[in-house]
Structure 1
Amino acid sequence: MGLTDLKIRKAQPKDKDYRLTDGEGLFLQVNAKGGKWWRFRYRFEGKERLLSLGTYPDVSLADARERRHQARAMVANGLDPSGERKRTKEIKAELKANCFENIAREWHKHMVGNKVWSADHAATILTRLEKDVFPWIGHKPISEVAAKDIRAILDRVRSRGVIETARRVRTILGQIYTFAIATDRANYDISAGFKGYLPPTSKTRKHMASVTDPKELAPLLRAIDAYQGGLVAQSALKLLPMLFVRPGELRHMEWAEIDFETAEWNIPGAKMKMGQPHLVPLSQQAIDVLKEIKPLTGHGRYVFPSTRSFFRCMSDNTINASFRRMGFDSGTIVGHGFRATARTILDEILGFRPDLIEHQLAHAVRDPNGRAYNRTAFLAQRKEMMQVWSDYLDGLKAGAKILPFRKTSKE
């Protein structure tokens, strides 16, 4: 006779596991701890096999019989229920592994591991994905993401009035698809069809506002020296034109990176735009600024900590906001603009070799064989250049005679 719910409920554990048979291969196994498991015994290709059908009472007697019926039908049609279940699990696992978010995070980890990006850029990329992409298509297998999904993402970002961000999101999507294709998880880049979808921007590249005329630079330097916004902000403003690094690199300067004995600042590759470590020679003027602020912030990690927490560096808006408070608008100068200032004056007025300047700007400079120079290349010449540059800036502030731009061969 078959089982009944009453008989199953009354079944008590014994010293050893035992079975209650229902018929046609279905039985309930009661283990010594009181657990009750449904099992279906069948033969396939001459071998006896067992298929788990769940536990009682989660799976009722009626449900267990229905599952037995389905399994018997599969066997009758030449299919192995255990094999089909395993195959279904593998398909689900593969779909989960190939969902867009998993592949995107794998791509992001690959780029970070190969030091393609700076730490800040990597964080920005991940934030864009988590904000604008993952909530909408992250759970989908990458092969099931449709054109309408990509269009909806771009339209959503564009609706915030930031077309350039939408362009960058589309670029990120394309890079993820390229990675997926290379790792055999996708056959084509569905985002490629949206290259002309977003409105075009001006073909004229907008350069960072900068001051390249010494006559205009002198009052700006004097205004920085007179700035009353606090020692941390003032010290950062003083160092920026001397070192002409990117503002983000200056904000993240740490005391552990400063070597006062060699007068050098060693920036790790993770903080650099190109992912390569960089060495900045420190002039005597730069050393003096750092020694002045060290009693205030030297006990912490960052040279220029946030006003809210010494565990974070200063805000990315502090430098430009300081210029605005001094009366210089964004069309006149931004923090990044001192790089153009140094590049122009060091070359056209002070006569330093362009390759030395580009190397100090952390741009890719290659030797005659096409190999990139290491961070210590031309260190003696660069130290001399950085000292001359600081002396020149001091001269401008003091009202020294301004040297004219050198005439080029084209003039």
Structure 2
Amino acid sequence: MLYETSLRALSGKPQSKIQELSDGKGLGARVSKQGKVRFQFRYKINGKNRRMDLGDYPDVLLRQARDMTEECRSWLAEGHDPKLKRSMSRDKTLTPVTVKQALEYWIDNYARDNRVNVDKNIAQFNRHIYPYIGHFPIEQTETRHWIECFDRIRKGIKGKQRPAPVAVGQILQNAKQALRFCRVRRYAISRELDDLIVTDVVSLRQHSSTSLFLTDLMIATK
């Protein structure tokens, strides 16, 4: 069993030989002659011993290494090589798909060929979405972030932007379709707009001359 006190005593202290310490459940720590303590997960695939580095102490604490080990054991139980699975997860975390990239993926791979008003769609995203949440990782963006954008469009910005209730419905419909398109193609996963309909973000009474149009949008986005 590993303990923080023993790891702290070993870290950075020269050793007479390399030490291999065990915490159980596949978690261990390798201590170099220079006193570098590195956590490792040790496992088997097809009878062959494997090991993967989890990080160096104290950058990675013991409790964090144990959490990583549990995750690795879950991957292994599901039939995945933990080393490969962790590498793929890390790449995804380090280079997440942003809201802007997700919407542009839909534009480039669907809207340009299927929407006659694609230029208007692009202009709406450029004006109302990208400046505020375009840089957010799409999988970490919450419903409230989108609603803040929709509220800003509906109410307008004093001295900068007039209220545009009709645009709210259009942008919601297009964003929902874009996120579904990305999800089906496994480009990026987000369901934060799934439950929203037009009347959640704009009242039909706000613009009586376009009530029929907004009703159609409400049905289309259910």
Coarse TM-score class (shorter-chain normalised): 0.5 to 0.7
- Deviations 1:319-363 (CA, angstroms, capped at 9, x unpaired): xxxxxxxxxxxxxxxxxxxxxxxxxxxxxxxxxxxxxxxxxxxxx
Q: Which residue of 1 aligns with 2:152?
A: 156
Q: Give the drift of 1:172.
A: 2.2
Letter aligned with residue 169 of structure 2? R
Letter aligned with residue 153 of structure 1? C
Number of equivalent positions? 189
Q: Any conservation in 2 of the 1:111–1:117 contact (CA below 8 Å)? A: no
Q: Give the drift of 1:178.
A: 1.9
Larger fraction in strand: 2
Q: Give the drift of 1:202.
A: 3.7
CA distance in 1, matches of 2:22, 2:174: 57
Equivalent of 1:141 in 117, 139, 142: 139
- Mapping of 1:303-382 within 5 angstroms? none
Q: Give the drift of 1:79.
A: 3.3
Q: Give the drift of 1:54.
A: 0.8
Q: Give the drift of 1:119.
A: 7.3
Q: Which residue of 1 aligns with 2:77?
A: 79
Q: Any stretches of 5+ residues in structure 2 without a counterpart?
A: 211-222
Q: Which residue of 2 aligns with 1:106?
A: 105
TM-score (normalised: structure 1)? 0.33
What RMSD over aligned residues (CA atoms) do the two structures have, in Å? 5.2
- The reply to whether residue 200 of structure 1 matches residue 183 of structure 2 is no
Q: 1:119 to 1:39 in 2, by over 3 A?
A: same
- Deviations 1:74-119 (CA, angstroms, capped at 9, x unpaired): 759x73796398269549939943x644312323445796696697
Q: Which residue of 1 aligns with 2:28?
A: 26
CA distance in 2, matches of 1:154, 1:69: 39
CA distance in 1, matches of 2:190, 2:9: 54
Q: Any conservation in 2 of the 1:20–1:29 contact (CA below 8 Å)? A: yes
Q: Any conservation in 2 of the 1:36–1:55 contact (CA below 8 Å)? A: yes
CA distance in 2, matches of 1:175, 1:160: 20
Q: 1:72 to 1:176 in 2, by over 3 A?
A: closer
Letter aligned with residue 93 of structure 1? K
Q: Any conservation in 1 of the 2:37–2:57 contact (CA below 8 Å)? A: yes
CA distance in 2, matches of 1:124, 1:155: 14
Equivalent of 1:9 in 9, 12, 20: 12
**SS in structure 2 of the partner of residue 154 of structure 1:** helix
Q: Which residue of 1 aligns with 2:39?
A: 38
Q: Which residue of 2 aligns with 1:93?
A: 92
Q: Identity percentage over the alignment?
A: 16
Q: Give the drift of 1:150.
A: 5.1
TM-score (normalised: structure 2)? 0.54
Q: Give the drift of 1:196.
A: 6.6
Letter aligned with residue 156 of structure 1? R
CA distance in 1, matches of 2:70, 2:209: 68
Q: Give the drift of 1:22.
A: 1.9
CA distance in 1, matches of 2:54, 2:107: 41
Q: Give the drift of 1:190.
A: 4.4
CA distance in 1, matches of 2:194, 2:10: 59
CA distance in 1, matches of 2:69, 2:197: 45
Q: Any conservation in 2 of the 1:38–1:55 contact (CA below 8 Å)? A: yes
CA distance in 2, matches of 1:30, 1:153: 53
Q: Which residue of 2 aligns with 1:287?
A: none
Q: 1:182 to 1:4 in 2, by over 3 A?
A: closer
CA distance in 1, matches of 2:77, 2:50: 13
Q: 1:145 to 1:167 in 2, by over 3 A?
A: farther
Q: Which residue of 1 aligns with 2:218?
A: none
